[in-house]
Every structure is written in structure tokens, then in C-alpha cells.
A and B are shown apart, each in its own frame.
Chain A
Amino acid sequence: MSDARLSVFKTYKLYVGGKFPRSESGRVYEVTSGKGEWLANAPLSSRKDARDAVVAARKAFGGWAGKTAYNRGQVLYRVAEMLEGRREQFVREVADAEGLSKSKAGAVVDAAIDRWVWYAGWTDKVAQIAGGANPVAGPYFNLSSPEPTGVVTVLAPQESSFLGLVSVLAPVIATGNTAVVIASERSPLPALSLGEVLATSDLPGGVVNVLSGRTAEIAAPLAAHQDVNGLDLCGADEVLAKELQVAAADNLKRVLRPQPVDDWTADPGTHRLTAFLETKTVWHPTGSLGASGSSY
């Protein structure tokens, strides 16, 4: 019997608003392995898919940003648990996509899962790093706390299709932003599979939306979109990055310019975590400071 079994091909689909739609345009493109063999057809997203993704991300923003930091950490840790359970699938996809051996791909996936856990731990610690009590010349407590920027478009790195993706996506949502991610153009399959993991791990629909297709085609309307608040240009080449920055300037988006990363396994530091934060400062009167000093 086993000889006669038909293979079950997987239809890779987008992940938008917690659902798995095909591209509104009905288009797909062929995804090949590092060696040039056909792997699957992936959706070729249009600007309307991008628009729908922003609507979903905006809708999810209030709820996600409003969760306690601790709860966000729990949800993100749950994502890591789910990734662990589907480790074999990701090892296969990463090996195919990046032309790695099974063991090398395994190391990459392990690093990605560890990174996800690392960022999950940061959710309730970032306020201590990026915020604080400011000394002011008056009878006030003056407190700065970091708040998420809003809807962030993330251009995932083109080469590192999974570890790179996790390294740019996790810090954006850890702080309470919602994300529209454009997967690596050549190797989108791990990103599309990540959508399936996110859908089953308590992450509210719309917090992460994954689009696949031509990066330049999808990124242009997102960079100009008036309802997108931030733009991570990690996966853009120099020419595209410049173009997108010009478009993004129109509504003063927060832009993270592409920085070359040679080794995604290296310690990422906190700069991605703090890239899409706004600072809210609150003044609270302490009452008068009497002759004897503080009254509180």
C-alpha cells in the first residue's frame, strides 16, 4: 500500500487577521529550493492584501497593546512551545530554503526558538530599560514609560528565512505593536508556516499578518499607508530602502533603516526591541516639600 500512496501537497496561504486567505489577486509564484528545485507555490500578494493586513493589524492593536506585559510574555512563550512541537517541519523547510544540511538547519531552528523565548522574557522587562523615574525640579513624580508605536510593517530579511524572520518579528510584537510581515521573497515558506504556529498559540488574530510575494510590490503601498506607524526596512536593498523612506516620510513613520547582519545567531542586543516604542511621560504631584523635606 505504501508505494501507492499519493503525496499530499501543501497549499501555502497567507496569514491575515487570524485566517489563512489566498491572495486577493489569485496569483501565486513558484518557490524553489537553494538548488533550484520546485518546492511549492506561494501566494503572490497584491497591494489589496497589504491593505487588508493593515486593517487586521489595526483592529488587533488595542487588545494586544492593552494586555499586561506579563500576559504578552506568556503568549509569546506559548509560541515557542508550539514551534518546538513542529521543529521537524521547520528544519525541513529551512534546509530546503537555505540549502543547509539537516544538522545545520536544526541548529538554525533551535536558535530561532531560543530567540523567541528570549524576546518573550523581555516583554515585562523592557519598561525598566526604556522607561524610568526622571529627576525634576519640582514636587512631582515624573515617570517615563515605553508604549508601542502601533502598526509596524516588517520587511523580513531576504537571506535568513526563519532565524532572521524571528529576530525581526518577535521584538516588534513583544512590546505590544502589531505587525504586517513581508516574508523573504525567495524563501517565504518558513514564514508562512510560522503563521500556522501563531494561529494555534493564543496570539490574537491580526497581531501578526504574514504576506508573501514581491517585496518591492507589497512594501510600496505599505510605506505610503497613512495607517501604518512604523517600518522596519531590514529586508530591503539600498535602492528600495531609499524609495520606501521617502514614501514613509509623508506621515512621519518611525523607520528602522537596514543594517547589515552577517551572523543572525549573534547576540541581537535590545535595539530592535526599543526601535518601535514611544515614550509616555506622566507628571504626578507629590504635594509640597515642607521644611522637613519630603512630605511623602
Chain B
Amino acid sequence: MKQNAVVSLRDINFKYSNEVILNNISLDIFDKEFITLLGPSGCGKTTTLRIIAGFETPQSGEVYFEGKQINDLPPHKRNVNTVFQKYALFPHLNVFDNVAFGLKLKKLSKSEIERKVKQMLAIVDLKGYEKRPVRELSGGQQQRVAIARALVCDPKVVLLDEPLGALDLKLRKDMQIELKQLQQKTQKTFVYVTHDQEEALTMSDRVCVMNNGVIAQVGTPEDIYNEPANAFVADFIGEANIINGTMLEDCKVRLLGVELDCVDKGFEKNKPVDVVIRPEDIEVVAPDRAKLSGVVEDVIFKGVHFEISVRCNNCQWLIHSTVAQKVGDRIGMRVDPFNIHIMDKMFLNPTNDIFTEVYYSDKENNTTTFLLEGSEVTIPDVYYKEGTKLKIVLPPDALYIAGDGVGQLDEVYIESVIWKGEHNEIILESDERKWIMQSDIDEQVATYVPLCFDFSKAEISEVAADE
């Protein structure tokens, strides 16, 4: 399917005071589509939208609008209009004047403006509200005014920055459907930003999942849900059991000591992979009829289904089933091969390897100190001569976040936190490299933390000088 792109982003890089917000983003937005930029807060989705609107200029990369480069075109000359997160309605103007704001600037005749505004207010269900001051409107009504104000200018592309975030759940659901219908009725390109995955799946023609300044996956809602590109997408969209596994050969994967059939091919032999199984794809059977079995720990009624939590070899599984189970019962879990999704690990090395040189050492106290990203790190109970080349292998459980706020590495960024059945797998980013950490604590993504190392769990070896 060849469609013409209305907006194209090419290799966009954006930094804000030395912090990388967008890292080489490329994206085509097609005519008349409803595309959603989805991701956790701090992933760069709003910045992407602001670059299209013209409020931010990327440090490198190109923005194209209908084939023309518009990097330096100011916002007021772009054929796009924005619906702002907190509506940004003009408090000194009434509903009519707010909606007419853009049209008046286009120097249309008075009767034309009046006709268009009336028509647009009718579309957003605000007939008769023309003379009301905007501050007297409810959140939902303000929202509609903001949408009308953007749409009435007849832009090629409408940008919406979490426009439903401030509304309550019921209103939000109604507005989701209304917005989708509005988009179809007006035949405009909508670029929608949200962190709500359900909203994204409901409304979009295509979803662009973003994480930490890069695009993780672009595809239809079905693609994103059924064939997530990596564990992050699987975790972010819907619920998923994500378990560490090993690819034995084509169509054969081992997890939790059990060999299972799958349909994925082309992985290296014995390669560590992430295995994703959606909770609704697990069939509850008698324990002897399935390779995987476990004990029911918790059952919660969710209306449509039961949410069943099962412990199997120290690993917590989540199952959605229409049949209730008894807590304490042993059940079997059967999964069809095509419902087992295999994906490459986001962090390829299973351990954190440091190659370094001893900075100084203290024979008396039996310590060795090396430099890590400019700060001194001391290994207790180990002595190597100064200048010795070392390889330090830190397994994921040798890393921890300092509770007292003083880490061996400060200001380390939490890139992702994924529950792997037994513990959280956390990927961190310091100034020079990435780290993989295991933790039972739910850390907050996109925050900065002090990182510590437990060298008693590390494997330290000397490296021959000629290496």
C-alpha cells in the first residue's frame, strides 16, 4: 500500500539542555489517517508533536510537510493546528471569539466567519453556547471548544496533545468515540499523543509506540497488540506474561525448564530471548494435560473475565479466563504455539561487564579502586596491583538502587522496568553505557536514581596485558 505522506520526520534529534529527548526519529504520517504517538511520560511523544507544530526546532534532521522542508517555518505559517493538553482557551474571549480566533486572522468576511463558527459549534455539540465565557464551561465543553477552534481553521493536520487527560473516565470514553467519528467525518489527518494504551488502540488507524526517545514500533493496533516488536511494547500495550527463555532451535523454546513449541524461526541456537504470552491466550486445563502447571494464588473477578494469578516454579503468571478457579488448586496451563511470541532481548548481554584498570589499591585494607565514568569506585576485600587490567562481570542482581541516596554512580536514568514473572528487569542508562538490573521493587520509569554495586556477587578476573 503506497500512500503519500503529509508529514515526514527524517532522523530527528532533539536535545534539551544536554538531555537527549529524541534520538534519531524517522516517521511518515499519511494523509487522512489517525495516528497515535503512544508511550510513557518522558518518552518524547509530546516533543515530536511540538516539532510538527513548529514550537520546537530539532538540532538535526528534517521535517517535511507535503514534500517541502519546513524546519524553519514558524508555527503561524504551518497548515497544522493543535489541541493543547490543558485546552489553552483564551480566558478573555467567549466561546464564539475563541473559535473565530483563527478565522479572523485569515481575514475572512464577518458573515463567513459567523457561518463557519456556527457550523463547527454544531459539529462539536455546542450550539447556543456562543456567548458563554469559556471559564464557565465544564472540562468536556472546554475540550470541545478547543477542538472546534483547531478544526474550524481547516488545517491539513490536527495535532492533539493528550486532549482527554483531564476528563473523567466516562466522559473520556465518550469523547474517544466522538473524536474518531469527527476525524472520519472531516477527513483530516489526526496526530494524537497519549500515554493511555487503551485509548490508542480504540481510536487509531496506526500506533507509534515510543520509549526513551526512540520509536519502538509502528503498526496497526492489531499488529502492535498481537506482534509486539519487543518486551517493552508487549508490556506497555495490554497485559502480558514476559518470561526469560532460551531458543533451542527453530520453533522450539525452553522456559522455566520446559520445552514448548512455537512458530518463530531464525534465532541463533541457545540464544536468550524474551517470551511473551498474553493472559487471555492461556488455556486452563488439568495439570497432567499441559507441560506447564502451577498453583492458583489469587482470583479477581473483573466483570468480563476472572484474573487468575498462578505460581509456577517461582514465577508469577497472569491468566484471563471466563471460568473461576479455586485458590490453592493446581492447574495446567496450555498455550497454542502461535500464541507464544518470541522476541530479541532489549539488553543483549545478560550481565554487566566492565573492562578497566586498577586506579589505586590498598594492601592493608585489602581494597582495589578503579575509575568509573570519572568517579572512584572501591571494591572491598579484593586486592590487585595498581595498573592491573581487570574484567568485572556484574550479574543483574549485583546492582541495586541506593536507599540512602548516595550511589557509586549518581543520576542514572531508568529506561525501562519490565516484570519478568519473578522479578523486575530494569534497564538503566548512565553517561556512557547501559546497565541491566534485577529488582523486586517497582522502580519509576524515566526517573534518575543513584546506582550501587554489590561486588561480592561480581566475578573479577585479570586480563592479560596484551589483550
* B and A form one assembly: no
Where the two chains meet, the residues of A that have a C-beta atom closer than 8 Å to any C-beta of B are none
Where the two chains meet, the residues of B that have a C-beta atom closer than 8 Å to any C-beta of A are: none
